[in-house]
A and B are shown apart, each in its own frame.
Chain A
Amino acid sequence: MSILEFSNVSFSNEGKSILKNLNIRIESRDYISIVGPSGSGKSTFLKLCNNLISPSEGNISFNNKNVSEYNPIELRKEIAYCFQMPHLFGDTVMDNLSFPFKIRNKRVDMDRIKYLFSLFSMDEEFIDEKVLNLSGGEKQRIALMRTLMFTPEVLLLDEVTSALDSENTLIVENIINKLNNEGSTVLWVTHNDEQSTKYANKLLTLENGEIKSLEVLK
Chain B
Amino acid sequence: MNSGATLSTSSLIIASSLVLISLFFSYYQKLNLEKETIIGVIRAIVQLTIVGYLLNFIFGLKNPFFTTLLLLFMTTNASFNASKRGKGIKNGFLISFIAIGIGAFITLFILVVSGAIKYEPYQIIPIGGMIISNAMVAIGLCYKQLLSNFKNKREEVETKLALGADILPSSIEIIRDAIKTGMLPTIDSMKTLGIVALPGMMTGLILAGTSPIEAVKFQILVTFMMLSTTSIASFLACYLAYKGFFNGRKQLI
Contact B251 A54 (CB under 8 A): yes
Complex CA–CA separation, A102 to B161 (angstroms): 13
**Considering the chains assembled together, what is the distance between the CA atoms of A100 and B166 in angstroms?**
11
Chain A residue with Cβ nearest B166: A73
**Which stretch of A27-35, A74-82, A119-127, A173-181 is in the interface?**
A74-82
* A-side contacts of B50, CB under 8 Å: none
B20 at the interface (CB under 8 A from A): no
Cα–Cα, bound, A73→B160 (Å): 10
What number of A-B contacts does a CB cutoff of 8 Å give? 58
Contact check, B173 vs A89: say whether CB atoms are below 8 A apart.
yes
Taking CB as reference atom, which chain B residue is nearest A86?
B159
Q: How many residues of B contact A (CB 8 A)?
A: 17
* Interface positions of A (Cβ within 8 A of B): 50-54, 68, 72-74, 76-77, 80-83, 85, 87, 89, 99-100, 102-104, 143, 146-147
Binding site for A on B (CB under 8 A): 155-156, 158-166, 169, 173, 249-252
Question: Are A146 and B163 closer than 8 Å at their CB atoms?
Answer: yes
Q: How far is the CB of B82 from chain A (nearest CB, A)?
A: 28
Q: Is the CB–CB distance between A74 and B164 below 8 Å?
A: yes
- Whether A52 and B158, one on each chain, are in contact in the complex, defined by CB atoms closer than 8 angstroms, is yes
A103 pairs with B166, CB closer than 8 A: yes
Q: How far is the CB of A156 from chain B (nearest CB, A)?
A: 8
Give A83 to B162 CA distance when docked, in angstroms. 9
Residue of B nearest to A103 (CB): B165
Say whether A76 contacts B251, CB under 8 Å.
no
* Complex Cα gap A68–B251 (Å): 12
A76 touches B164 (CB 8 A): yes
Inside 8 A of A74's CB, which chain B residues have their CB?
164
Given A68-B249, A72-B250, A72-B251, decide whether A80 and B159 contact each other with a Cβ distance below 8 A.
Answer: no
A73–B250 Cα distance when bound, in Å, is: 8
A53 and B251 contact, CB distance less than 8 A: yes
- A68 CA / B250 CA spacing, docked (Å): 11
Residues of A within 8 A of B163 (CB): 76-77, 80, 99-100, 103, 146-147
Q: For the complex, give the distance between the alpha carbons of A51 and B252 in Å.
A: 11
